[in-house]
Amino acid sequence: MSYKYEFTRLLVSNFKACFRFYRDVLGFPVGYGNEDGTYADFTLGTVNISLFDKREMSDTRYVPLARLSFRSR
């Protein structure tokens, strides 16, 4: 079995500032979205960095990675 890394998803508190940082400071090309939105993708070859506005995701339930246990079957 082989794995392919494709996405990094970030929940951010200040979406506009983060969007501008990735676009203007790091120079990442925008694949989707704009600084006035709540979601954006930056495409770097075969890898994407996605920004999500933290407030938009506040109702989403998740389990922190530190609490997950991985077992082989």
- Could you tell me the residue ranges of all domains in the chain? 7-55
- Region 46-54: mean pLDDT is 91
Residue 31, pLDDT score: 94
Does the structure show a pLDDT above 70 at 69? no
CA distance readout (Å), 10 to 14, 15, 19, 52: 11, 10, 11, 6
CB of 20 closer than 8 Å to CB of 1? no
Predicted TM-score (pTM) of this structure: 0.72
- Region 32-58: mean pLDDT is 90
Helix then strand count (H, E) for the chain reads 1, 4
CB of 12 closer than 8 Å to CB of 53? yes
CATH, domain 7-55, list 3.10.180.10, 1.10.10.10, 3.60.150.10, 3.30.300.30: 3.10.180.10
Does the structure show a pLDDT above 70 at 72? no
